């Protein structure tokens, strides 16, 4: 076997290997001899099956195993030549060329490694920003929202249901004429216009009179959590019993504070207002981070830091982005791609720049997270998956198992690390210009 290895760049290498037919035959003999001692075959005692019989019965399997073993040896030899180790390899090696014929094999194997990243100067890519200001009016508006939330529902004198009202009603859902589990309730309270129910349901209730019954036709969203209902047409039979409204307190007092902060005996109006203020500030900062700071930083740092990318990881990302975009293509495009391989390849190639940017950012985030000691525990990943399940009405244990089977958990963890990293990068106590200004909290 002849092996020649060379670095294409710091993250990729090419191992050229030539394997003679007799080398493959020799490896087949070695594997067949080992298998003969273990294989069970009718007519022979265990461990006494002739090698020739094993070779005849399992010829294809033995040749395939032999070639795999030889390629592994070739890769190991190539790594030694490159002064690399097996743990340096990133992803699975792929064939750039494979000529397998009766005379032997002539192949080129592409290997990728974790890139070497010099993050020096990345701080220059962090955009300047000021801590979001919180106005007194915003604090008052938020407190009024909270007071509305805890206000009790009271019977209204209104006779016709409108958006913004609360409805007390019975309902039962049917699909194909059959009632389905979880689709029935009595004396249920719902704020009309809150979009808590299936699209179209709350709109269908608008205009109902107290005591009136109605059939409301809706369609479950295609991405609905319960698979047996997703995308299905349904009819909900509803009966309105009562129209309700809320009459919130006009200001904070000891009674409303206890309802808003149960268990906190030391809470005061001033302390509560400070908490509301900081929550508003945090919400504003999250919006600023996601919509402005993060995109600016990503564009700048990806452009600034130069390093070679592992080819196989980029190709995987291209495949992923292409598959995710498949449903956005027209029927004509899809048909063209099925018939014309060149058109398919050219379209896939359009995803390369964005795929390279995505892969590059992933490695940058990973490296910066290590440098800044940003970590995510397995328990945090578990909590994130469970919260997502609750949000979509999915069984959390089944959701977690699905993510495990699909190999998605590492991506979830990476997303959480990225979120933590950016919050750390833009933490308001990291920069001198983040101090609260005198204008903060003053009225307009």
The mean pLDDT of 370-380, rounded to a whole number, is 93
- Where residue 428 falls among pLDDT bands split at 50, 70, 90? low
Identify the pLDDT of residue 431: 46
In a domain, 381, yes or no: yes
Average pLDDT for 284-299: 93
**pLDDT (average), residues 265-269:** 85
Q: Is residue 322 part of a domain?
A: no
Query: Is residue 32 in some structural domain?
Result: yes
pLDDT for 432 beyond 60? no
Residue 174: per-residue pLDDT: 95
Domain shared by 404 and 267, yes or no? yes
Quick one: 378 and 427 in the same domain?
yes
For 56-60, the CB contacts below 8 A with 24+ separation are 58/32
Domain boundary among 202, 217, 246: 246
> Is 343 part of a structural domain of the chain?
no
Query: Which of these, 154, 428, 388, lies nearest to 282 by C-alpha position?
Result: 428
44/89 same-domain check: yes
Q: What percent of the chain has pLDDT over 90?
A: 61
User: Using one digit for the tens of pLDDT, what is the confidence trace for 15-40?
Assistant: 999 999 999 999 999 998 888 888 88
Q: Are both 167 and 301 inside the same structural domain?
A: no
Whether 210 is covered by a domain: the verdict is yes
Predicted local distance difference test score (pLDDT) of residue 42:
80
In a domain, 366, yes or no: no
Tell me, yes or no, whether 98 and 12 share the same domain: yes
**Would you give the distance in Å from CA 23 to the centre of its chain?**
46
Instruction: Examine the domain organization and report whether 30 and 54 are in the same domain.
Output: yes
For residue range 50-100, what is the model confidence (pLDDT) as tens digits?
888 888 888 899 999 999 999 999 999 999 999 999 999 998 999 999 999
The CATH number given to whatever domain includes residue 158 is: 3.10.50.40
pLDDT given for residue 437 in this prediction: 41
Residues 202 and 268 in one domain: no
The domain boundary residue, chosen from 61, 86, 112: 112
Structural domain count, the chain:
3
> Is 171 among the domain residues?
yes
Same-domain pairing of 282 and 392: yes
57 and 31 co-located in one domain: yes
300 and 234 assigned to the same domain: no
Say if residue 33 is in the same domain as residue 104: yes
Tell me the pTM. Answer: 0.71
Average pLDDT over residues 288-295: 93
Q: Which of 193, 220, 246 lies at the terminal end of a domain, its last residue? A: 246
Predicted pLDDT at 438: 42
> Residue 100's beta-bridge partner residues?
105
Residue pLDDT, tens place only, 100-151: 998 899 999 999 999 999 999 999 999 998 889 999 999 999 998 888 888 8
Residue 362: predicted pLDDT: 93
pLDDT at 126: 92
pLDDT per residue as tens digits for the range 181-211: 889 999 999 999 999 899 999 999 999 999 9
Quick one: 103 and 29 in the same domain?
A: yes
Kindly state whether residue 142 falls inside one of the protein's structural domains. no
Quick one: pLDDT at residue 161?
A: 95
CATH code of 45's domain? 3.30.70.1050
Mean pLDDT of the chain: 89
- Residue pLDDT, tens place only, 231-247: 999 999 999 999 998 88
Range of the domain at 172: 153-246
């Amino acid at each position: 076997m002849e092996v020649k290895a060379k670095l294409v760049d710091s993250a990729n290498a090419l191992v050229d290997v030539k394997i003679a037919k007799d080398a493959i035959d020799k490896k087949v003999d070695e594997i067949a001899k080992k298998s003969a001692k273990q294989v069970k075959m009718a007519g022979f005692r265990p461990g006494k099956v002739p090698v020739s019989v094993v070779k005849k019965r399992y010829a294809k399997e033995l040749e395939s195993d032999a070639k795999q073993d030889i390629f592994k040896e070739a890769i190991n030899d190539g790594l030694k030549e490159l002064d690399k180790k097996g743990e340096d390899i990133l992803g699975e090696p792929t064939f750039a060329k494979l000529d397998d014929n009766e005379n032997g094999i002539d192949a080129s194997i592409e290997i990728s490694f974790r890139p070497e990243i010099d993050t020096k100067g990345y701080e220059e890519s962090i955009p300047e920003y000021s801590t979001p200001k919180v106005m007194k009016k915003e604090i008052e508006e938020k407190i009024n929202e909270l007071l509305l939330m805890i206000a009790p529902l009271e019977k209204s004198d209104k006779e016709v249901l409108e958006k913004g009202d609360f409805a007390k009603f019975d309902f039962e859902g049917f699909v194909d004429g059959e009632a389905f589990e979880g689709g029935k309730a009595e004396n249920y309270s719902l704020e009309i216009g809150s979009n808590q129910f299936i699209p179209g349901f709350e709109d269908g209730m608008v205009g109902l009179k107290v005591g009136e019954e109605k059939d409301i036709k809706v369609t479950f969203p295609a991405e609905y959590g319960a698979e047996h209902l997703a995308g299905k047409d349904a009819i909900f039979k509803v009966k309105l019993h009562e129209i309700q409204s809320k009459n919130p307190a006009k200001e904070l007092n000891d009674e409303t504070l206890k309802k808003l902060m149960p268990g906190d005996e030391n809470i005061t109006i001033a302390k509560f207002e400070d908490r509301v203020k900081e929550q508003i500030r945090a919400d504003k900062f999250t919006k600023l981070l996601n919509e402005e700071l993060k995109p600016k930083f990503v564009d700048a740092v990806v452009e600034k830091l130069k390093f070679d990318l592992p080819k196989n990881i980029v190709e995987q990302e291209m495949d992923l982005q292409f598959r995710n975009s498949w449903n956005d293509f027209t029927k004509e495009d899809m048909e063209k791609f099925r018939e014309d391989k060149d058109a398919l390849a050219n379209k896939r190639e359009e995803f390369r720049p964005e795929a390279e940017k995505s892969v590059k950012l992933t490695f940058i985030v990973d490296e910066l997270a290590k440098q800044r000691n940003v970590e995510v525990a397995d328990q945090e990943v578990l909590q994130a998956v469970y919260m997502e399940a609750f949000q979509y009405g999915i069984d959390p244990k089944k959701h977690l198992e699905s993510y495990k089977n699909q190999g998605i958990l590492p991506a979830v963890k990476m997303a959480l690390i990225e979120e933590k990293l950016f919050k750390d990068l833009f933490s308001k106590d990291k920069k001198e210009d983040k101090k609260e200004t005198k204008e903060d909290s003053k009225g307009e």
